[in-house]
Structure 1
Amino acid sequence: MEIEISSSKHLMYVGEIQQEMYDSAQRRGTGIAKRSIEYLSKKISEGNAVVAAENGEWVGFCYIETWSHGQFVANSGLIVSPKFRQKGTATLIKNKVFQLSRDKYPTAKIFGLTTGLAVMKINSDLGYKPVIYSELTQDDDFWNGCKSCVNYEILMKKERKNCLCTAMLFVPNNNKVNEVGTEQPENKYKNEQESNLSV
């Protein structure tokens, strides 16, 4: 399996990626914000995503987005093809997109919202901590991205102070203890259910 920073050669997978995001949200009945083909294509073309593939078959995906003039970076849309779940794929993709975020935006805080236990464990291993929503970007465009989530009404009723997703935040520091190295991480969660992936 190859896990690469995205480029135009990966655009052939965009339809499958979008469909699996939609299907996963339907199965779970909880929030994965919908993203258009155009939006996902732009992320892939700009090199702001990570794509995993094996023998020409799409395996997994995750993208990055910046907020508040680059002060915050979100690793979003983590999704793994059902055929490749429960094999540690999500951990490898998340590590790669985390390193891409650190390389492109070394001083930014990296955050995610998720309802998935497997993603919470992966984030925790990378140095993320659970936080209250006020610690995240307050950029309206970010929160508008939640409009397609089934839980958006809950978020708004709570005045964007909390929702069903857990907010997690990585704050860079000078000792770089939490940076991902060049070696492949040990996959402690390969037996975890990876069907509930979203950030």
Structure 2
Amino acid sequence: MINQYEVPVCAAHNAPALTSTTPEADEEIVVRLATALDIDFAIPICAEMESSAKARGTGISQRDPADIKKKMLEGKAVIAFTKSGVWAGFSYIQTWENDQFVSNSGLIVVPAFRRLKVASAIKQKIFELSRQLYPQAKIFSITTGLAVMKLNSRLGFEPVTYTEITQDPQFWGACKSCVNYPILVAHGYRNCLCTAMLFSPDLLKAL
């Protein structure tokens, strides 16, 4: 069971950073706004992101724990825990070009909690947070993962070319630690293995 709004019973900073324990099928998972209580999880979050990318042989670039902590303190991240306090997943948002664009980034689910719809709940929550904080911004995501593409599609994202998302050099600079960065550079930052997907509030106005 997943509850997107209830605060966990135990304090997040007292929970184990990572676990290989198989979750109980009926254990509730809480997806909520990350806070200062969660900053101790920045390092295991980054480690899991890197481990996941290496396992796939492609995908997300490395993240700095300091940046993850900053997102938590700014109220621009969501985190998932079991009711017993075990960390299950994470994602955050970043703004670009004077808040014209918002990226939904760093979606990660601990392996033991995959296929339990945790990713879907996190994606829904981070999308709602993006719309709440930046209602006029275009929201985008780049990914090589089919599962994330499907989640984006359900939320109204559409595949686009790289020219339709942010052109901020800092965004593309963050891809330097990705194994596919040479491909991105070779294509002049116009194409890579990641698929770009965009949600535009203008589409809602047109309906």
Return the TM-score normalized by structure 1.
0.86
* Shift in alpha-carbon separation, 1:96–1:29, aligned structure 2, 3 A: same
| 1:140 paired residue number | 169
Q: Contact 2:30–2:80 (CA<8 Å) still a contact in 1?
A: yes
Q: Contact 2:60–2:178 (CA<8 Å) still a contact in 1?
A: yes
Map 1:29-178 → 2, pairs under 5 A: 29-54=57-82, 55-173=84-202, 175=204
Alignment pair present for 1:12 and 2:40: yes
Paired residue type of 2:129: L
Provide the C-alpha distance between the structure 1 equivalents of 2:205 and 2:81, rounded to a whole number of angstroms.
30
Structure number with greater Rg is 2
Aligned to 1:97, the other structure's residue is in SS state helix
Deviation at 1:155, TM superposition (A): 0.2
Provide the C-alpha distance between the structure 1 equivalents of 2:182 and 2:203, rounded to a whole number of angstroms.
39
Alignment pair present for 1:24 and 2:42: no
Q: Contact 2:109–2:119 (CA<8 Å) still a contact in 1?
A: yes
Q: Contact 1:3–1:50 (CA<8 Å) still a contact in 2?
A: yes
Between 1 and 2, higher relative CO (CA 8 Å, sep ≥ 6) is seen in 1
Structure 2 stretches lacking a partner, 5+ long: 1-28
Aligned to 2:202, the other structure's residue is in SS state coil
Deviations 1:90-146 (A, max 9, x none): 000000000000000000000010000000000000000000000011111111011
How much identity, in percent, do the aligned residues show? 52
Structure 1 stretches lacking a partner, 5+ long: 179-199
Return the TM-score normalized by structure 2.
0.83
CA RMSD, Structure 1 to Structure 2 (Å): 1.4
Deviation at 1:32, TM superposition (A): 1.0
* Shift in alpha-carbon separation, 1:134–1:11, aligned structure 2, 3 A: same
Aligned to 1:164, the other structure's residue is in SS state coil
Paired residue type of 2:199: F
